Amino acid sequence: MNLHRLTLFPLTAWAALSLAPAVAAPPADIVDIAVGSKDHTTLVAAVKAADYVVSLKNPGPLTVFAPTDAAFAKLPKEAVARLLEPAQRGELEKLLQHHVTTSVYEVKWLKDGQKLGQADGTKVTITVKDGKTYVDGALIVASVRASNGIVHVVDGVLLRPTQK
C-alpha cells in the first residue's frame, strides 16, 4: 500500500473543490426583481392583490414596464387605494396586463412610433426623443434582465385607453 498516495488524495480533492468556480445563482425572475426593489413596493402590492404573481413568474419571455412607487404617487391616492380593493381585482389585473407584453424588447431595439401589443389586448406607443425612450409618455429609466424576460423601470403608470 502506498501511503504517499493516500495522503495526497484528500489534499488534491480539497484543492480541486476550493479552486472550482462557484456555481452562480440562477438569475431572478420578473417577480423576484420587483420584490427585491425598494422602489416597487406599490407594484408588488398590486401584483399580489390582482393575483398576478403566477402569470409574471411563467417562463416567458416577457417584457414588463414596471412603474416605480413615485410613478404611482403621481396618480390620485384614492384611485390607487380603490384599485387595491378586492372588488377591483379585475380592473387592477387589466391595468397590470397593460404593462406586460410577450417577447423580450431591449431598449435599443425599440423604435420611435413602434406599437407594442400588450397582454390586455391594447397597444402602447414607443417614443424615442433626444436619446431617451418612452412608452406611452413614461420614461424608461432603467432595465434589468430577468430569467423570464426583461423589466423596464418606468417613471409613469401606463393607463389603458379607457382610463385616460
What string of DSSP letters covers 21-76? PPPPPPPP-HHHHHHT-TT-HHHHHHHHHTT-HHHHHSS--EEEEEE-HHHHHTS-
Q: What is the pTM of this model?
A: 0.82
- Chain segment 60-101, per-residue pLDDT in tens: 899 999 999 999 999 998 988 998 899 999 999 999 999 999
Helix (H) or strand (E) holding 151: strand 149-154
DSSP 8-state code for residue 80: H
- For the ranges 62-71, 81-90, 111-120, 131-140, the lowest mean pLDDT is seen at 81-90
pLDDT score of 133 more than 50: yes
Q: Residue 132, SS3? A: strand
CATH of range 26-106+140-155; options 2.30.180.10, 1.10.275.10, 2.40.50.140, 3.40.140.10: 2.30.180.10
Residue ranges per structural domain of the chain: 26-106+140-155
